[in-house]
Amino acid sequence: MKIAIVQPYFLPYIGYFQLINAVDRFIVYDDVNFMKKKWINRNNILIAGQPNLFIVPLKKVSQNKLIKDVEIAVDLNWKSKTLKKIDLAYQKAPYFQKAFDLIESIINQNQTHITKLAFTSLKEICSYLNIQTHLTPSSTIYENAHLRSQERIIDICKKEDADHYINPIGGTDLYSKENFLHHQIRLNFLKPELIVYRQFKNEFVSHLSILDTIMFNDPEAIHNFLKRFQLI
């Protein structure tokens, strides 16, 4: 059993979906403290050949709140403004209509909390890309919020009978392979390859939202992209 545990991001970049696709169960880590300036409620799209931020507005953001408790701000215009921004940016992209319909259905979800909107975005994109991995919010099952950091990750692995834990490459300084092996769990870090595709006539801009990837590539091509990584 291979699992990964990552905070919920809204329409994240393709590397996030590579990790989902690489495991049997993906735990959406929503009962940890919210961190400002992360990718939970924002990401970049391509405008005039440059990355441009879109943001889901939040209410009373605090790093003392758990992610699952952070509410979306009551702003009747953010959805229409964001969709118009996406429309103008990508209306000439080869897979625009199919991709836009998908993104519009996600953004127009009647969700009050960012974790639920992010979770919906992950499930809908996974369905679109035929990713079969089961997604589970950590807040709904494990009851181990009293544990911290590595101890909590190992506890979740044990509760899932997982013998292989895969973490994003950014966590190499956080976790010890020796500590995981002590619990009969193999630890690896997923390092995505640079995936380049045609974005109009611009020089390629990487690490944009999956939104960009589905505008310029069909699901079959993207599914092949998902396999382009190394386990370190």
pLDDT tens string 29-45 = 999 999 988 899 999 99
Joined together, the tokens standing for residue 38 give: 């992360």
How many whole angstroms separate alpha carbon 139 and alpha carbon 158?
A: 16
pLDDT exceeds 90 at position 146: no
Pairing of strands 229-231, 2-6: unpaired
- Rounded to an integer, the average pLDDT of 168-197 is 96
Cα-flanking dihedrals φ and ψ of residue 166, to 5°? -115, 125
Which of the four pLDDT bands, split at 50, 70 and 90, describes residue 141? Answer: very high
pLDDT exceeds 80 at position 214: yes
Q: How much is the pLDDT for 165?
A: 98
Joined together, the tokens standing for residue 224 give: 């092949």
Task: Please choose, from the candidates 62, 28, 34, the residue with its C-alpha nearest in 3D space to the C-alpha of residue 140.
Answer: 28
pLDDT exceeds 90 at position 220: yes
User: What value does the mean pLDDT of the chain take?
Assistant: 96
Left if phi > 0, otherwise alpha if psi is -120 to 50, otherwise beta: which for 143?
Answer: left
How many whole angstroms separate alpha carbon 56 and alpha carbon 47?
A: 18
C-alpha torsion angle, residues 72, 77, 83, 88 (rounded to 10)? -140
How many structural domains is the chain composed of?
A: 1
Q: How much is the pLDDT for 63?
A: 83
Which of the four pLDDT bands, split at 50, 70 and 90, describes residue 20? Answer: very high
Domain enclosing residue 26, as ranges: 2-231
pLDDT exceeds 80 at position 7: yes
- Rounded to an integer, the average pLDDT of 120-147 is 95
- Rounded to an integer, the average pLDDT of 1-21 is 98
Which of the four pLDDT bands, split at 50, 70 and 90, describes residue 110? Answer: very high
Task: Please choose, from the candidates 216, 9, 195, 232, the residue with its C-alpha nearest in 3D space to the C-alpha of residue 118.
Answer: 9
Number of H helices, E strands in the chain: 8, 10
DSSP β-bridge partners for residue 188:
166
Residue 221 identity = A
Q: How much is the pLDDT for 131?
A: 97
pLDDT exceeds 90 at position 187: yes
How many C-beta atoms surround the C-beta of residue 92 within 10 A? Answer: 9
SS3 73: coil
